[in-house]
Chains A and B, each alone.
Chain A
Amino acid sequence: MSDPAIQISKLSLSLSGKAILRDVSLDVRAGEFVSIIGPNGAGKTSLVKCVSRIHQDWSGEVRINGRDLRHCSQKELARQLSYVPQAEGRRLPFTAFEFVLMGRYPHLSPFSSVTAADKELVREMMALAGVEGFADRSLESLSGGERQMVFIAAALAQGGSMLLLDEPASFLDYKHQMQVMELTGKLHRDQGLTIVCVSHDVNAACAQSDRVLAMKHGEVEFVGTPAEVLEEGRLEELYETTFDRIAGDPLPFITPGRMK
């Protein structure tokens, strides 16, 4: 059997003396779509940031395609795995094209500069994300949803086989939520990307993923298929609130609280 694409064993992280992650372990197979759910402060974002090496002082082991993350250079990692941050509306003074082109950074040496092939690839990725029309627009002039699609295009421009997304659809309107979901679905199905996606929307996470990781208080609460996650009692325990399940095919939908 080949190595898992992402292998996390006993990962722990403390920030300012506070334990954020405790002994988190997870294997993600190549081509798998895994969603991470859990209440606020569960450590979902931190986990994704550790694997992307944005947080560096964790303990435990992370292997990417069998290679120890600690022995990987930052650029080497960036060629295999890319990360899309939360769409929290940071203001960036670049055009969409400039920003996506920066995604080619891990393929540049200090003495080389972007080639026509890089620019071609950037245009392709922008077309894939449906943002080719914004190429010359300043990121500041785009809406939150449009900007998020540009961020995903930039992550794709890194040319890796793994994509980590941190709540890609939060704060977006329904149309852009759908666009993000359609795009991640397409990338998973057609391009065979391995996707790890932090999500607050349990229905969307269950509809899209092969497996769901549920986290609470910095620890893994359970890992399972979407059907298992939706079993009576699981989500109630995870989120400490009540849910209603509405029959659906193939999976039920959930809504928080008791419907009258």
Chain B
Amino acid sequence: MNRGIVISLLFGLAVVVLVVSPMVGMEFIPLTDLWGGAGSLDAGILRDLRVPRVLTAFVVGSALALSGMAFQAVFRNPLATPFTLGTASGASLGAAIYIRFGLSLSLFGVSGISFAAFAGSLLSVAMVYGLTRVRSGFSTATLLLAGVAVSFFFSSLILFIHYISGFANSFRIMRWMMGSVDLAGYDSLFDMLPFVGAGALVVVFKANELNLLMTGDDIAASRGVNVNRTKKLLFVAASLMVGGVVAFCGPIGFVGMMAPHICRLMVGSEHRTLIPATALFGGAFLVICDTLARTVIAPVEMPVGVITALIGGPFFIVLLLRQKGGLGL
């Protein structure tokens, strides 16, 4: 199928999802209530709860998908994601420390928890990258093992912090670790945007470099890519996105691994089309998952991570089986 058509379809899907999802919930509320029934309870629910939640889910989905896409291209490995590389646990650790010590700082009006999570994710990427650089002959197997090790190490630190925290903080950490977009209001959405926006911008401007890195470091370097600098820049960008998102929504799995693969199967691996496809699909996908999470067994809400894995897993396997040549990576 023509790539332009696929992008247009994905754009259409994203718009439909963004318009329909806020109306769906325990009670159906037409979007027209936003300006029609001003002051009513329904309009309030729509404006203050559902709309920011849907927008947040979209931003989070796009950010996780784009960072997963960048990691997969840079490491030339289909299993490289914010989770397998320890980036998400790093971000979680940063945020957990911030919550444990009851800090409340802000810089330029952005909550300090984002910076703490960003610092954590950057630290984990630096550790993983550093570990693989110590031994030259940088293999992806080493890298993933390093990622898993860092991830376990950080997770145990989080558990430790959890353990020494008071009841209230412990509850906050636990709630947030489940990974969900339900705590989100406009404030956290606006806190996320600079991080996600900056990271996404870098990824967009590095589309050609991402293509070349996928062909291998040697070819990329010989075509004129400054390989080490570009990789570091992309790590920072992916850490920004992961940190910005995880700070508020906790670690939400599967989107970062699956969305880029599904998009590669639809539009191919050329990043100039893959980037918009991944951002749109990742966003729309998480909105749909979150809508299901809050409606399927309403009034009880499930963690959105449960839904992403439940839908994502089988879908991914079906695509994998139908694809002849593998994953396109």
Contact = CB atoms under 8 A, between A and B. Distances in A.
A141 B205 contact: no
A76 B223 CA distance: 10
Interface stretch (A1-9, A86-94, A182-190, A207-215): A86-94
15 contacts: A49-B218, A54-B217, A54-B222, A77-B224, A83-B222, A92-B214, A93-B325, A93-B329, A94-B215, A94-B268, A98-B211, A102-B212, A110-B205, A140-B326, A158-B224
A113 B207 CA distance: 11
A31 interface: no
A108 interface: yes
Interface string A141-171: 1000000000000010010000000000000
B162 interface: no
Contacts of B325: 93, 138, 140-141
Interface in A49-84: 49, 52-54, 73-79, 82-83
Nearest to A57: B136
A218 B268 CA distance: 42
Q: Most B CB atoms within 10 A — which of A83, A93, A98? A: A93
B214 A93 contact: yes
Q: What DSSP secondary structure best describes chain B's contact surface?
A: loop
Interface in B33-76: none
Interface string A181-225: 000000000000000000000000000000000000000000000
A78 B137 contact: no
B246 to A, nearest CB: 29
Contacts of A108: 208
Contact of B212 (A90, A91, A105): A105
A15 to B, nearest CB: 6
A54 to B, nearest CB: 5
Interface of A: 15-16, 49, 52-54, 73-79, 82-83, 85, 90-95, 98-99, 102-103, 105-106, 108, 110, 113, 138, 140-141, 155, 158
A93 B221 contact: no
Given A93-B269, A94-B270, A102-B211, A85 B218 contact: yes
A53 B225 CA distance: 10
5 pairs of A and B residues whose beta carbons are closest in the complex: A78-B224, A106-B224, A75-B224, A83-B222, A93-B328
A52 B326 contact: no
Nearest to A95: B268
B21 to A, nearest CB: 33
Nearest to B208: A105
B224 A74 contact: yes
B16 interface: no
Contacts of B225: 74, 105
A102 B137 contact: no
Given A94-B270, A105-B208, A99 B215 contact: yes
Contacts of B218: 49, 52, 54, 83, 85
B298 interface: no
B224 A79 contact: yes
Interface in B208-242: 208, 211-212, 214-219, 221-226
B221 A92 contact: no
Contacts of B269: 93-94
Nearest to B206: A110
B264 A93 contact: yes
B224 A102 contact: no
B135 interface: yes
A196 to B, nearest CB: 13
A138 B328 CA distance: 10
B221 A74 contact: yes
Contacts of A158: 223-224
Contacts of B205: 110
A47 to B, nearest CB: 14
A16 B137 contact: yes
Contacts of A155: 222
Contacts of A54: 217-218, 221-222
